[in-house]
Amino acid sequence: MRLFGEKLAGEFPDLAFEVFFWLAGIFEATYSSSDNHELAVHYFRKAASVKPSAPEPYLKVCDCFDPDLSIPPLGSLIEFVEEGIGHVEDPVPLYLRLAELYEHAGDSARSEEYRRKADEGKGPEGPADRGDG
């Protein structure tokens, strides 16, 4: 399946985002080993590399985390979602997911920081101007 997907994405670059996102979803839903979690993260990263402004890979990758097994590593998920902040139009959903991930990591200060950013980003006119762009 991986070879087919990689070949399909290579032959039809305009479909690459959808193919990588589809592959990530397959590995996310398959719980036979920890490798599947890593493959899901790998393909969410590939999807984001094709279309960095799409929030879906950054949001869905958070669903890969299994708190009972602590896989995939929280640090890599957090890093990836934080990378997405600078690319997506509305970072508020990413802030909320980061708050959850930091809560799982036991870092309540960072969790609260991202909850605050999410609250500041919500307003009657939509996301606040981040001023970092």
List the pLDDT tens digit at each of the 133 positions of the chain: 666 667 777 787 888 888 887 888 777 655 555 567 788 889 899 999 999 999 999 999 998 888 888 888 899 999 999 999 999 999 999 999 999 999 999 999 999 999 999 999 874 444 444 444 3
**pLDDT for residue 130:** 43
Q: At what angle do helices 92-105 and 108-121 cross, to 10 degrees?
A: 170
- Cβ within 8 Å of residue 25, ≥6 positions away: 40, 60
Q: How many helices (H) and strands (E) does the chain have?
A: 7, 0
80: left (phi over 0), alpha (psi -120 to 50) or beta: alpha
CATH superfamily of 2-121: Tetratricopeptide repeat domain (1.25.40.10)
**pLDDT for residue 17:** 84
